[in-house]
Amino acid sequence: DIQMTQSPSSLSASVGDRVTITCRTSQSISSSLNWYQQRQGKAPEVLIYAASSVQSGVPSRFSGSGSGTDFSLTISSLQPEDFGTYYCQQSYSSPFTFGPGTKVDIK
């Protein structure tokens, strides 16, 4: 299985801050990396697919980058509704695995 790590595991930031979350995979996955946001008690929602493509309807403040084993998700200007837990997920090979998550709190 491809192992996923994320950093930081949690962060607290102010509205308007630029926030970056990183994801690393145990082997190269090309660009087969997706990012999800999960709010408390809700199902995850996809933000970014194929490492850098923004899902339709997702605000433009979200962006993704990376390839191979190192990836990042950036929120250019943090908004109050951006609280929640963010997960990366690889779709390069089965079984499809998720990162452990990064919890984002708004200061």
- Residues near another protein (CB under 8 A): 1, 30-32, 34, 36, 42-46, 49-50, 53, 55, 87, 89, 91, 94-101
Lay out the sheet containing 33-38: strands in order across: 10-13, 102-106, 84-90, 33-38, 45-49, 53-54
> Of 19 and 48, which CB lies nearer to another protein in the complex structure?
48
The letter for the amino acid at 11 is L
Nearer to another protein, 55 or 76 (CB): 55
Min dist CB 97 to another protein, Å, is 7
Q: Tokens 């999960």 sit at which residue? A: 38
